[in-house]
Amino acid sequence: MSNLRVNHINLYYEVNGSGQPLLFIHGLGSSTRDWELQVAEFSKSFKVITFDLRGHGQSDKPPGPYSMAMFASDTVGLLKALGVESANVVGLSLGGGVAFQLAIDAPALVKKLVIVNSAPALIVRTFKDRLNVWQRFAIVKWLGMRKMGEVLSQRLFPKPEHAAWRATFVERWAENDSRAYQDAMRAMIGWSVMDKLGSIQCPTLILTADQDYIPVAVKEEYTKLIPGARWVVIPDTHHALPVEEPQKFNAAVMEFLQEN
């Protein structure tokens, strides 16, 4: 549990276990601690690295604008500062976008790539797209981060047995810095590396919940653009897959990482 100075900011990170480096990149409004169900398992076999993206958790939250390339550059700086020559990389949602950008900008650093409930682009095209973006900014601006967490918690953890996770999610979400959160959202909007997917040469797994925000069909289509990539669907799950079904998620990722 420490901080490293990277790109003129302090990034909070944790390292657990030993062996081949395995980097987990969290989603929007999340942090290192939301990988707790993965760290306990994967640190038995890997050197697990988790960190808070700029604007999140215990990392610095400088004024924006932020960009996906900036998040990826921060990640490169962190890995190099830790002496990591290459790592297996797992990214969820926003973290999946950062992982895509990382694999394109610094391919030598990525040994294997796992993209979870994410996409290589966020282009606002339709009225529904614009409305969804506006609603999220509006809730944050006028009702606050806690209200945003309450709204999202119902989508991420909709089942009665998810009550404890909903409560935890809301409390953690409320801790987010509103300005930094909005800066991170803006970094995603309009971003795309779709035309560069063919350059990704590392083994790639696209892992998706069947009830994620991003339709399974969309992920199936972009998987075809990545040489040798494959995709796995985990049924009856939602966007926060690593938390909702950690055993199924961990098993799918572990199987992929252990393949030659």
Angle, to 10 degrees, between the axis of helix 94-105 and the axis of helix 178-188?
A: 50
Number of H helices, E strands in the chain: 10, 8
- Its pTM stands at 0.97
Query: What element of type H or E holds 21?
Result: strand 21-25
Cβ-contact 52, 58 below 8 angstroms: yes
Q: In whole angstroms, what is the distance from residue 110 CA to residue 107 CA?
A: 5
Q: Which DSSP symbol is given to 124? A: -
CB atoms within 10 A of CB 141: 11
Q: How confident is the model at residue 260 (pLDDT cuts 50, 70, 90)?
A: confident
Q: In whole angstroms, what is the distance from residue 53 CA to residue 13 CA?
A: 9
Region 127-151: what's the mean pLDDT? 91
Class of domain 2-129+192-258: alpha beta
Domain ranges for the chain: 2-129+192-258
The tens digit of pLDDT for each residue in 183-202 reads 999 999 999 999 999 999 99
